[in-house]
Structure 1
Amino acid sequence: KAGSDVFIEKGFKNWRKGPENFRDHVGQVGILHNKATQHCTDLMNQKQHVETIVI
């Protein structure tokens, strides 16, 4: 369940399941936030910029 409220609404009190709860909070690879982060990283990569490739 990506984007769960484990950190925002309920708080984080049980570190025993910390890694599992954190993975649930972050979500899978296809989640929109992760895609936006990848797009931002791609835009900042000058080696693959259009002007660099064309010129």
Structure 2
Amino acid sequence: MNVPDMLLYNGKITTLDPSQPEVSAIAITDGLVTAVGGDELLNSATEKTKKIDLKRK
């Protein structure tokens, strides 16, 4: 996975994927969703990645 520009994490994010209906994190690169999953996506962040804590919302 590329280094994301932004990570939204610690959330309740509903997807349209029946195999993964809810995730807690989403990575965005160049305005496109590049990954969804758990808070382990934070491992792909660098100091340039904007991180937004959704506070389980």
What TM-score, normalized by structure 2, do the two folds share?
Answer: 0.22
Structure with the higher helix share, 1 or 2: 1
Structure with the higher strand share, 1 or 2: 2
What TM-score, normalized by structure 1, do the two folds share?
Answer: 0.22
Larger Rg: 1
